[in-house]
Amino acid sequence: MFSSGQLIFGICFFFVFTGIVIFSYRTDKKRQPLYFKGSYKILVGFLIAFSFLVLIKFITQQ
């Protein structure tokens, strides 16, 4: 489906992008903690929604 170069690029991109997002979140949280109060709820909601979509995909493929 993907060539080895595309997979390597995708994996590297994922880790670098995730690192930049985490770094930016931490610096912004230090500067403006009021805006990030309760932000973990958004992350939990996203993970639940994503898990639900994956579950639907596996159920419908069988």
Mean pLDDT of 38-43: 86
Q: 6-36, pLDDT tens digit by residue?
A: 999 999 999 999 999 999 989 998 898 888 8
- Greater confidence (33 vs 52) lies with 52
**Residue where the block lists tokens 């898990």:** 51
Tokens of 46: 């996203």
Q: What is the pTM of this model?
A: 0.61
Q: What is the pLDDT of residue 49?
A: 96
Angle subtended at Cα 36 by Cα 32 and Cα 40, rounded to the nearest 5 degrees: 155
**Sequence ranges of the domains in the chain:** 1-31, 38-62
Say if residues 36 and 43 touch (Cβ distance below 8 Å): no
Contact 33, 25 (CB under 8 A): no
Which ranges constitute the DSSP H helices of the chain? 4-31, 39-61
